[in-house]
Amino acid sequence: MQLLGTIQAGFASPAEEDAADIISLEEFLLGDKEASYMLRVQGDSMKEAGILDGDLVVFERTAACRPGDIVVALIEDGYTLKYLRQESGRFYLEAANPQYPILYPKDGQILGIVTGSMRSYK
């Protein structure tokens, strides 16, 4: 897939072919390809991060999660996507929607980080 430069919403801008580069959707969406998995988003807990109900997200199973990352955690009622935050040494999970409560994950519940998301408008 050819990347034709950034576009500004509002005005059409001429695509700059010179600056173009070839990237694959895979490279764009994935971290480590061999550690990547997909999930379908349900609900609006991450809507202010631009992740909406029905989106497909790709995540990488990794232990290298830092505060500020959007992480995938496996809690009692299934997978959840949340921001990883840290306050005075303690980690917690925060939704991108003020209507959701803060979660305190237990050891081993954080599986990895979200590396990309997809939404089809077809």
Partner 1 sequence: MKTHTHDYPRAILHFDGDSFFASVEQALNYTLKGKVVITGGERGAVTAVSVEGKRLGLARGLSLRDIRRVCPQAVVVSSDYVSYGIFARRMYTLVRRHAPVVEEYSIDECFADITGLARPGRSYEDIAQLIHRELEQALGVTFGVGLAPSKVLAKVASKHRKPGGFTAISTSEADAYLANVQIGQVWGIGPAMSQTLNALGIQTALDFARQSPEWLRANHISKPYRAIWHELRGTSVNAVAESGATVPASIIKSRTFSPPTADRAFVYSQLVLNVEGACARARRAGVLARRVSFFLKTQEFLYGRVELDLSIPSANPADILNAMRPRFDVLFKQGVVYRATGVSLGGLVPAGAAPLDLFGEAEAAQEQLPVLNGVDALNRRFGAGTVYAGSSMAARLHKAPERRRRAAIRPSHLQMDVTRRRKRLNIPFLGVAR
**Residues involved in catalysis:** 45, 82
47: left (phi over 0), alpha (psi -120 to 50) or beta: alpha
Burial of 54 (0-12, 13-18, 19+ CB in 10 A): exposed
Under the criterion CB under 8 A, does residue 109 sit at the interface with partner 1?
no
Among 62, 83, 103, 105, binds partner 1 (CB under 8 A): 62
Range 41-60, binding partner 1 (CB under 8 A): 41-43, 45, 56-58
In DSSP terms, 74 is beta-bridged to 79
- Interface residues with partner 1 (CB under 8 A) are 26, 30, 32, 34-43, 45, 56-58, 61-63, 72, 74, 77-81, 111, 120, 122
